[in-house]
Amino acid sequence: MSKQVKIISARCGNIRPDSIEDYVNAGGYTSLEKALKMNSADIIEEVKKSNLMGRGGAAYPTGKKWEQLFRIKNDPKYIVCNADEGEPGTFKDQLLLNQDPFEVIEGMTIAGFVFNSHDGYIYIRGEYGVSQKIMKNAVETAKRTGYLGNNILGTNFSYDIHVVSGAGAYVCGENSALLNSIEGKPGRPRIKPPHLAEFGLFLKPTLVNNVESYACIPYIVENGGDKFSKLGTESSGGTKLVCTSGNVNNKDVFEVPFGITLRELIYDKEFGNGIPNGRKLKMVHIGGQSGSCFPEELLDTKLCYKELKSKGLSVGSGALVVIDDSHCIIDYLLCVSEFFIQESCGKCTPCREGNQQIHALLSKFADGTAVNEDLNTMMRLSKLMKTGSFCGLGQTATAALDSCLKYFRNEFEEHMDKKCRAGVCDFKGGVK
């Protein structure tokens, strides 16, 4: 019996993504038809019952977010889909965009109906050129067949969706920076409050959800929030798309119920299928580059927002980057810090300068010139960045470093004596 529970990915690979006939024949748009006969408040109540947490990484309760926006009386309201999937090791939204685009559109259309919105925006990562073409074609097809545009399915509800491309900036995955980018402004985060539910896109009330979050809405409307919630755990409703990459045999996207263990996701033949070349596991980086790293001892932790949090970890984007024992902790962290240096928007000093200084200190460990005070300096810098950075990029940029200092501090100390447990550092500022 398969351990996967395919709810939002059930049609992926089984229908033609450019065929609305295939989508409808596979059960698509029955949820929208049902939603158009419901009260907005009742739909929101089902989303609340579903215990759906935001699938973009922040894990904010989706039903609560919808309820907060619904209470705001100002119009117009905008529906925005965050498809700026820039987290390294994460490619689960791309699966939905490329293989089941109408599911995302249907979820956004239901949201548009709930909030009496007339315009939605899908902001797609600049590097996802194929996804952009597929989504634009799907939107035009939905308009042509009466599922978007004026008087949808013969009702008084009219709603349109615009596909917008990013320019490759990771920071635009932050919701307010994304909205600035849509408006044609520099992709930098805004001061909050005011919150986006009050002053979002074009300073109007705005709902911003992730691709995967919108994809869950049709199932919730069709089957009820309780049924969706029971697929997962008490604190984590439904299923989750998980990406496996790195030193693992199966690099792919899997839809799994919350409650499955991290060990199963890495070693089960149906998922990661273990580590190649007979190597041993060193650590796993969970949730993308802004997530934490953990050792083998925590592999029996369940994929669950509450349980992971109790271990100092988070679901994040759902990425699992597996790292075997042939890799050096310092070398890996240098790559992580280089990523954040590249992607920092430069707006605030703690992130702009902090990432540069973290990289400089890690370089001292890589070439064998670090001293004990450098460890203390990195920890102080990390704390400053977490508390003083303007947005989530700077606040989480050192999550991998902090967790590696917690679980692999001995490797930092060994590098002070020019010893690399993985045997890859040449202590000349590089690797062998």
Model pLDDT for residues 281-318, shown as the tens digit of each residue: 999 999 989 999 999 999 999 999 999 999 999 999 99
pLDDT in tens, 2-26: 889 999 999 999 999 999 999 999 9
CB 77 within 8 A of CB 199: no
pLDDT at residue number 275: 98
pLDDT in tens, 242-273: 999 999 999 999 999 999 999 999 999 999 99
The CATH T-level fold of domain 20-230 is Rossmann fold (3.40.50)
pLDDT at residue number 27: 97
Give CA–CA dist 363/355, Å, rounded.
12
Signed CA dihedral, 65, 67, 68, 69: sign only: positive
Residue 381 φ/ψ, nearest 5 degrees: -60, -40
Give CA–CA dist 164/79, Å, rounded.
13
Give CA–CA dist 111/382, Å, rounded.
39
In the structure encoding, which two tokens stand for residue 409, read together?
Answer: 């501090």
Which parts of 116-167 are beta strand (E)? 119-124, 160-165
Give CA–CA dist 411/421, Å, rounded.
7
pTM of the model: 0.95
Region 370-383: mean pLDDT is 96
In the structure encoding, which two tokens stand for residue 6, read together?
Answer: 């395919």
Query: What's the chain's length in residues?
Result: 432
Q: Which residues contact 426 (CB under 8 A, 6 or more apart)?
A: 432
Q: Which residues contact 369 (CB under 8 A, 6 or more apart)?
A: none
pLDDT at residue number 429: 61
pLDDT at residue number 11: 98
pLDDT at residue number 119: 98
Residues forming a β-bridge with 400: none
CB 402 within 8 A of CB 382: yes
Give CA–CA dist 299/263, Å, rounded.
5
Region 336-340: mean pLDDT is 97
pLDDT in tens, 179-234: 999 999 999 999 989 999 999 999 999 999 999 999 999 999 999 999 999 999 99
CB 349 within 8 A of CB 394: no
| Residue range 239-324, CATH number | 3.10.20.600
Signed CA dihedral, 204, 209, 215, 218: sign only: negative
Same fold, 20-230 and 329-416: no
pLDDT of residue 402 exceeding 90: yes
pLDDT at residue number 427: 85
Nearest-10 Cα torsion for 63, 64, 70, 76: -90
pLDDT at residue number 58: 84
pLDDT of residue 407 exceeding 70: yes
Domain 329-416, second-level architecture: Up-down Bundle (1.20)
Q: Where residue 431 falls among pLDDT bands split at 50, 70, 90?
A: low
pLDDT at residue number 110: 98
Burial class (CB in 10 A: 0-12, 13-18, 19+), 432: exposed
Average pLDDT, the chain: 95
What number of H helices and E strands is found in the chain? 18, 9
Region 23-49: mean pLDDT is 98
CA nearest to 84, candidates 186, 173, 215 = 173
Domain boundaries, the chain: 20-230, 239-324, 329-416
pLDDT in tens, 58-75: 889 999 999 999 999 999
Q: Where residue 432 falls among pLDDT bands split at 50, 70, 90?
A: low
Going by their DSSP bridges, the two strands 281-286 and 293-294 should be labelled as: antiparallel
pLDDT in tens, 411-425: 999 999 999 999 898
Signed CA dihedral, 322, 326, 329, 334: sign only: negative
pLDDT in tens, 85-102: 998 999 999 999 999 999
Residue position matching structure tokens 């920092």: 344
pLDDT at residue number 430: 60
